A and B are shown apart, each in its own frame.
Chain A
Amino acid sequence: MRTALAAALLVSALPGLAFAQAEDVVVIRAGKVLTMNAQDEVIDHAVVLVRGGKIVAVGPADRVAVPPGAREVDARDAWLLPGFIDCHNHTAGSLSDLNDGVYLTNPGLRTLDTVAPENENLKVALAGGVTSVLLIPGSGNNMAGFGTVTRTAGRTQADMVLRAPGSIKVAQAGNPERYWFGVGRAYMNWNLGQTLEKARAYHAGWSAWEEAKALADEGKGPPPPPPPPLDLAWEDFRALFARRFPASVHTQMFQVVNKTITMLGDRFGLRVVLDHSTFDGFKNARLVQERPEIVTICGPRQYYFDRAEGRIVGVAARWMENGLREVGINTDAPVVPQEELTLQAALGCRLGLDPYQALRGLTIVPARALMIDGALGSIEVGKDADLAVWTGDPLDPRRHCRLTIVKGQVVYDAGQGRRF
């Protein structure tokens, strides 16, 4: 292990592999590229060209012009996929800050403060081909704070963080009950609703003032009143209500998922990520189908044991059978180790999820859920070169991640020190 660590350090110290310069060109030759784009393109004998950390060309080897002097990554016997994205992670932080449970709803807290670059869990996550995660607080209370969308590679928070706040973490039921005796679903929903109403009122107050000020600045209205007082408890909620980031909701079971859709989605108009979506939550599939913005992420429980029917139900497969076009997969790391994200998907497939859909559920679906699909989640021109080279189907535990690339630079090389 120690030699592995030393080797990994050595890799990052090599001049050729250090941070990509703006015009640094990398050419990746791959046996198979799963682009995960909207056309579901899979290209055999492909070339992906990366310049300045961005993908500038993708295509069959004989149709992509490779500039001289480009640095070569030879993966001609391997598969190339987008780096995987997990919407539910607790290990990008220090873990000791998992869940500040001061109140039952804790508006204003940010996991950004807890991001811990290059921690051991993140290093193994990279070895599992996972390049971006949503770091969120635990579910010990109904609202535990704002999540952070972050890369798993990088030496500093500035290197890593993609967006903060990345989401508001809501745990609607199934854990916060432990907060105090007498806390049940009716109270939790009422209390959560009250908190969100206060946040919405704050947002409305500021929005009204900004509009008045804008009119006054244009000379079209009277001078605005003094601005409302700044309150850091509510400030981050403004972007939430402006739908610039989603509510990622710990929600499971039919009744709770139902309330997530109708309360957070319909009543408060938030972008909603159904995170877990387990047990018989799939009975809500039609409601989700009718609200295409809602993204369903399954895990880490991949099956539901239906006692009445005496059967094991694959949760992701059943959401799909009930009409969804896509589902995502998560780990809730460290509940399931982050590097085992692909195993979660494989377990979904074991119970009937289509393997290609499972791969979408590790890439473009979570990217869309986290609203980072403009830059990540597929291998397309203009997107960030966050990629992973696999020795075959990533869902197959027999295959491993050989190389992980973030912003065009190699951040994990199994040949230099195998981690997973």
Chain B
Amino acid sequence: MSARSIGSLLLLLLALPVAADEGPVCCEDLVEGPAAHRHDDLDEPAPEAPATPPAEAPGGQAAAAAAEKKKEPDRWFAVTGGDVYPVTGPALRGATVLARNGKVVAIGERVAVPAGAEVVDARGLRVYPGLVAFDSSGLVGSPPEDATDVFGLGLQIALASGITTVGQGPVVAKLTWGTLEGHVLEANAWLRLDVGSGQALAQLRGELERVRGYLRDRRAFEQARARGEDVKEPDRSWLRGRPAQLEQLMLGRARAVIAASGRTELLRVAGLVQEYGLRATVLGGQEAWTVASLLGRAGLSVVLAPRARRDADPQLERESGWSIESAALLHQAGVPVAIVPTSRSIGTGGLGGNDLATLNLEAAYAVRGGLPEAAALEAITIVPARLLGVADRVGSIEVGKDCDLLITDRDVLHYEMLARYTVVNGRVAYDKAKEALLRAVRHSRDEGPAETVPQLWPRRPGEPEPKMPDSER
């Protein structure tokens, strides 16, 4: 079979579910059949992925049979009946998100689910894109493709908090539970620039000037050559390593991340990026609210922790110090805002509320300061995805993007929000009911009996041993 015919088969398979976007799909046969296994059946082990593509695929059945030996069968995955909040579009009530081989192929209220698909019943639940943490620590190994612990506790806690993609330094990785497949999203998302002191800024300017000089010479050379003049090509042998990265930056092909929190530093950053036309993101930005419009005009984006303190300087006449309203003021000034917690790791020591496990609550604090709720959700999904250069893959629920989902029974910004399921690359990476981690946590409004292990001491003589709930055995 030629590559072309495999391609056309793929197209045919693709065409079916996508059509659901346009309107109802009436093909009854395609609605979840008995072969589809549901994720709420806890006792039943998940059957293997269907060995064949949906038999209903119109045409090319013989071709499919021929292709079977060469090609992995399609892996269908669906989340049905949930309220879907795609972030980049309006909410859909009781909708289905269908994914094939880890990519979303349809979103809608009447999407047909192929037989054999793995199905998560999300009726009564909310479906959000997996959260994106612009910056993290301790979750991604070095190098990630070899060293990430994909069964790590921190990774599972992050998934339980709804996070599916993290930046760690310039590496962007997905929290693929139990597999390194599809783990690394971007190996080099940005370049760090240092303007922390006048000396550092001077050095950086020197480097940028040298690259700018080269680019000017290069342009002059190309123009001269176009005129047919015999000119010498400018030397680019030194443009390796960091100078080469700076060149990419100045050509607008790469992004910079610059740590700056005080107003003086922020003004330095704004001046620099305007002077050299850089695409840059400020990390920190505690006093950014005092120069919000200026940062907006410089085209900067800001990654901040809404509660990160910086004391006001009582000797200054101007506004200074941290403000809970930072994110809102920046947003009003047109500055894209991504939100991170003060601590970028995952703790297990008990002191919560400041680390990645409550990324959603950080966004909630930005709402406290006046940021609209929609912008707060964007600040932990699509905005960091854009700033990390991976918005074509993650950060919203859209056809063509990766099927990374947070499925929960609460508003994502609510303080009781825990993931019920977390989906990465169209696979259930975390299921609250199956993992010991938070299985026993039950909220007061939840229905059904508590599933907790009684831990009472002392047990009085003659008292029966506490009965363990079934799920604890």
Interface residues of A (CB under 8 A from B): 1-3, 5, 120, 254, 278-280, 282-287, 300-305, 309-315, 317-318, 321-323, 335-337, 340, 343-344, 346-347, 349-352, 354-355, 395-400, 418-420
Cα A29 to Cα B352 in complex, Å, equals 36
Shortest CB-to-CB span from A68 to chain B, Å, is 37
**Residue of A with least CB distance to B415:** A346
By a CB distance below 8 angstroms, the chain A residues around B325 are 418
Task: Work out how many contacts link A and B, with CB atoms closer than 8 A.
Answer: 134
Task: Return the contact of B441 from the options A120, A317, A396 (Cβ within 8 A).
Answer: A317
| Cβ B444 vs Cβ A318 within 8 A | no
Q: Which of A283, A305, A346 contacts B361 (CB 8 A)?
A: A346
User: Does B312 sit at the interface, judged by CB under 8 A?
Assistant: yes
Asked if residues B415 and A349 are in contact (CB atoms below 8 Å), the reply is: yes
Docked pose: A344 CA to B316 CA in angstroms: 34
> Is B437 at the interface (CB under 8 A from chain A)?
yes
Distance in angstroms between the alpha carbons of A323 and B418 in the assembled complex:
25
**Can you report 29 A-B residue pairs in the complex whose CB atoms are below 8 A from each other?**
A1-B312, A2-B316, A2-B317, A2-B320, A5-B312, A120-B311, A254-B457, A280-B455, A282-B455, A286-B457, A303-B350, A310-B153, A311-B437, A312-B437, A313-B440, A315-B350, A318-B452, A322-B456, A323-B456, A335-B351, A343-B361, A347-B352, A350-B358, A350-B416, A350-B417, A350-B418, A351-B441, A399-B368, A418-B323
Q: How far is the CB of A5 from chain B (nearest CB, A)?
A: 7
Q: Cα distance A207–B308 when bound, in Å? A: 53
Pairwise interchain contact A398-B413, C-beta atoms closer than 8 A: yes
User: Do A396 and B415 form a contact, CB below 8 Å, given A2-B318, A309-B436, A312-B438?
Assistant: yes
A311 touches B436 (CB 8 A): yes
Give Cα A310–Cα B417 distance, bound, in whole angstroms: 20
Contact of A283 with B353 at beta-carbon distance under 8 Å, contacts A2-B317, A346-B361 already known: no
The interface residues of chain B lying within 8 Å CB-to-CB of A282 are 455
CA distance A162 to B10 in the complex (A): 76
Cβ A283 vs Cβ B455 within 8 A: yes
Query: Of residues 396 to 449 in B, which have CB atoms within 8 Å of A's CB atoms?
Result: 413-418, 436-444
Nearest-CB distance from A386 to chain B (Å)?
A: 22
Instruction: Return chain A residues, CB-CB under 8 Å to B311.
Output: 120
Task: Tell me whether B415 and A395 are in contact (CB under 8 A).
Answer: yes
Q: 5 shortest A-B CB distances, which residue pairs?
A: A301-B350, A1-B312, A346-B415, A1-B321, A397-B364
Report the minimum CB–CB distance from B332 to chain A (whole Å).
15
B316-354 Cβ-contact flags toward A at 8 Å (1 or 0) = 111111111100000000000000000000001111110
In the complex, what residues of B have CB within 8 A of residue A323's CB?
Answer: 456
Q: Which residue of B lies closest to A344 (CB)?
A: B353
Q: With an 8 A cutoff between CB atoms, is B220 at the interface?
A: no
- B452 adjacent to A321 (CB under 8 Å): yes
Is B453 interfacial (CB 8 A cutoff)?
Answer: yes
Q: Shortest beta-carbon distance, A52 to chain B, in Å? A: 34
For chain B residues 357-407, which have a beta carbon within 8 Å of chain A?
358, 361, 364-365, 367-369, 373
Instruction: Give chain B's interface secondary structure class.
Output: loop
Q: How large is the interface on B (under 10, 10 to 19, 20 to 34, 35 or more residues)?
A: 35 or more
- The smallest beta-carbon distance between B162 and chain A, in angstroms, is 12
Contacts of B457 in A (CB 8 A): 254, 283-284, 286-287
Q: Is the CB of A397 within 8 A of B319?
A: no
| Chain A binding surface, main DSSP class | mixed
Residue of A nearest to B443 (CB): A352
- How many Å lie between the Cα of A397 and that of B307 in the bound state? 11
B89 within 8 A of A: no
* Cα A96 to Cα B122 with chains together (Å): 53
Q: Is the CB of A283 within 8 A of B452?
A: no
Q: How far is the CA of A318 from the CA of B325 in the complex (A)?
A: 35
Please, which residues of chain A bring their CB within 8 A of the CB of B317? 2
Contact of A2 among B319, B350, B442, B453 (CB under 8 A): B319
Report the nearest A residue to B373, measured CB to CB. A398
Question: Does the CB pair B368–A304 fall under 8 Å?
Answer: no
Q: Is the CB of B319 within 8 A of A1?
A: yes
A347→B341 CA distance, assembly (Å): 15
- On whether A336 and B364 interact (CB within 8 A), knowing A310-B436, A321-B452, the answer reads no
Q: CB within 8 A of A350: which of B321, B413, B415, B456?
A: B415
Q: How far is the CB of A162 from chain B (nearest CB, A)?
A: 28
Let me know if B350 and A279 touch, CB within 8 A.
yes
Write out the residue numbers on chain A whose beta carbons fall within 8 Å of the beta carbon of B312.
Answer: 1-2, 5
In the assembly, what is the distance between CA of A398 and CA of B374, in Å?
13
Q: Using known A-B contacts A300-B351, A420-B324, determine if residue A352 contacts B441 with beta carbons closer than 8 Å.
A: yes
Rounded to whole Å, the gap between the CB of A258 and the closest CB of chain B is 8
**Contacts A2-B314, A283-B457, A318-B455 known; 10 new A-B pairs at CB < 8 A:** A1-B323, A2-B312, A278-B350, A280-B455, A286-B457, A313-B440, A336-B351, A347-B415, A397-B413, A397-B415
